[in-house]
Amino acid sequence: MPTTIRRRGATVLAAFLLAWALLPLTGAHADDIPLAPGHRLVPGYTGAAATPRPVPGDDPPQHPYLAPNGRSGMHADAAGSGTYPWSGPLGRSPVVRSASMAVLGGECANVTFDRAGRIVTVCGTFSGFVVKLLDPTSLATLAEYALPQRPSTVEAITRLDFSRIFKDTSGGAYSYLDNEDRLVLADSRQHIVRLAHTRGPDGAWRFTVDADWDLTAHVPHDCVTWTNLRPSGECDPVTSVMPDWEGRVWWVTRQGRVGTLDPADGTVRSVRLPGEEIQNSFSVAEDGVSIVSDHALYSFRAGPDGTPEVVWRQVYDRGSGAKPGSVNQGSGTTPDLFGAGGHRYVAITDNADDRMNVLVHRREPGVPDDRRLVCTVPVFPHGRSTTDNSLISWGNSLVVENNYGYENVTSLTFGRSVTGGVTRIDVRADGSGCDTVWESPVRSPSTVPKLSTANGLLYFYTKDPHPLGVDAWYLTAVDFRTGEERWRRLTGTGPLYDNNWAPITLGPDGTAYVGVFNGLVAVRDATPHR
């Protein structure tokens, strides 16, 4: 997700981003994202096309109130698995297409697909978030709907502190597509909005507000606006929304509020986690809602009147401070709900000072507290480990990447990169512990990675250090079974191609989409899958 933890000099950052935004197009169409100098000095493609090797196992349960798995949101499904039941690109002469969504900014942070395969996405510009309907092949905009400007944008401009934008996860980035192809999100007014898209008699597509629920009676909303530059009260942005198995819409706020909304009658219920912060999204299964704060992992359920109730709570090592590559002093992962062979687990990472750990817990409500933790597995180098992206989960396997060193689009310029690393961890079949299966040196600075269970490939968005200072970004495919890199395809050069916490999304037609700082990139095989 678009986040950062360290402030850069506002003048330097603003001038830097503006300079890149004004670069002339280089070998691209007018609507493409400009390439920075040096793209001819780096390989366009390395490796070889992969042979599909489907990964056996069961798909995550289909949520009754979400679009089909793979189409509904940033983490692909309600369980947060990061997996897709169809194939992504195999590396057969892959071609790249891009679309610039704004003069400055434009990153499409969450890509979903309606029944016809059209893209429904939320793109963030420096003037505000915009919901867009896109053609999945050309990336042309078919319709758009402007969301209210976020307080962080006003603060960035008035206080010359653009880091406020990069660490703000509110305003619609964590949205979802429901079972009727409607996009549901919480906007910066503290409203939950449901948007439908329809085609009119004139052939034009339009977004319409299908429902609008006001949370301001339950959430402090004295936020910065152009008419309220120095608010004296509290502002607590809603960061994420997701339905439970009964159709209630759950929501969380940055300052630890957890609530439900009954869409049938608009009833809102909420509780507060005192002194705790929630910056990540959350996951939902039939047995409950899993939420992680900067102090603890929770399992929630709704009480008889819809009030959120804690089923169990497990604290974790939150370390002594935030690290470069994480948004706050806490876990950077949305909880993953997974398990095979009758086991039900939930996994997160902690924020331990020396080495971050992958933590796996038993999900059942009746498990004693001292038996809930299945394993604690340290990952990545000493003093250089953190992640602010969800794990991938499939069967009893987890995949985690290292984001240590990434802060924002200025972090990796002039040929720099991150420590990097990707690790696969498996929970033992009998649930007695966990084992490290493989470790990879792949450097994936800040993307939400994905797995195609139809072809057995993991997809990362990577950047290696370069001695001549070229900032080259690649879609990189890694074998899920072995951790070996299969191929990589150059998407572009320069900070406009930095994905800045946005996910990789695999489309039903086999295309891999990556939200990048200036818009959206699509990578697809030149030859069709057989």
Does residue 140 surpass a pLDDT of 60? yes
Whole-number pLDDT of residue 18: 44
Tell whether 2 is covered by a domain. Answer: no
Does residue 26 surpass a pLDDT of 50? no
Tell whether 67 is covered by a domain. Answer: yes
Does residue 29 surpass a pLDDT of 90? no
User: For 104-122, what is each residue's pLDDT tens digit?
Assistant: 889 998 999 999 999 999 9
* Residues 111-134, mean pLDDT to the nearest whole number: 93
What's the domain count of the chain?
A: 1
27 pLDDT band, cuts 50/70/90, is: very low
Strands 268-272 and 283-285: unpaired
User: For 493-519, what is each residue's pLDDT tens digit?
Assistant: 999 999 999 999 999 999 999 999 999
User: For 164-209, what is each residue's pLDDT tens digit?
Assistant: 666 666 778 899 999 999 999 999 899 999 999 999 999 999 999 9
CB-based contacts of 341, cutoff 8 Å, min separation 6: 396, 429
- DSSP 8-state assignment for residue 403: -
* Residues 261-272, mean pLDDT to the nearest whole number: 98
CB-based contacts of 350, cutoff 8 Å, min separation 6: 316, 317, 318, 319, 331, 356, 357, 359, 376
Q: Distance between CA 100 and CA 77 in Å, rounded?
A: 27
Q: Give me the amino acid identity at 423.
A: T
Please state, in angstroms and as integers, the Cα–Cα distance from residue 98 to each residue in 33, 75, 106, 461, 497, following that order. Answer: 6, 22, 12, 15, 10
* Residues 286-313, mean pLDDT to the nearest whole number: 98
Tell whether 1 is covered by a domain. Answer: no
CB-based contacts of 108, cutoff 8 Å, min separation 6: 101, 121, 122, 123, 124, 132, 502, 513, 515, 519, 520
Pair 256, 275: CB distance under 8 Å? yes
Which of 499, 496, 520 has its CA nearest to residue 21? Answer: 496
CB-based contacts of 109, cutoff 8 Å, min separation 6: 1, 2, 74, 121, 122, 123, 124, 173, 501, 502, 503, 515
**Distance between start and end Cα atoms, the chain:** 34
Q: For the chain, give the mean pLDDT.
A: 91
Does residue 145 surpass a pLDDT of 90? yes
Percent of the chain scoring above 70 in pLDDT: 91
pTM of the model: 0.93
11 pLDDT band, cuts 50/70/90, is: very low
Whole-number pLDDT of residue 21: 39
Whole-number pLDDT of residue 147: 93
Q: Distance between CA 475 and CA 512 in Å, rounded?
A: 8
Integer-rounded Cα radius of gyration of the chain:
21
CATH number of the domain within which 393 lies: 2.130.10.10
**Phi, psi for 461 (deg, rounded to 5):** -115, 110
CA-based diameter of the chain, in Å?
63
Does residue 127 surpass a pLDDT of 50? yes
Q: Distance between CA 168 and CA 186 in Å, rounded?
A: 13
Say what the alpha-carbon torsion angle 500, 453, 131, 463 is, to the nearest 10 degrees: 20
Tell whether 3 is covered by a domain. Answer: no
Percent of the chain scoring above 90 in pLDDT: 82
Tell whether 488 is covered by a domain. Answer: yes
Which of 28, 41, 74, 7 has its CA nearest to residue 499? Answer: 74
Does residue 264 surpass a pLDDT of 70? yes
* Residues 251-279, mean pLDDT to the nearest whole number: 97
Structural domain containing residue 253: 10-524
Whole-number pLDDT of residue 419: 96
Q: For 428-472, where are the alpha helices, taking DSSP H only?
A: none
Q: Distance between CA 244 and CA 64 in Å, rounded?
A: 9
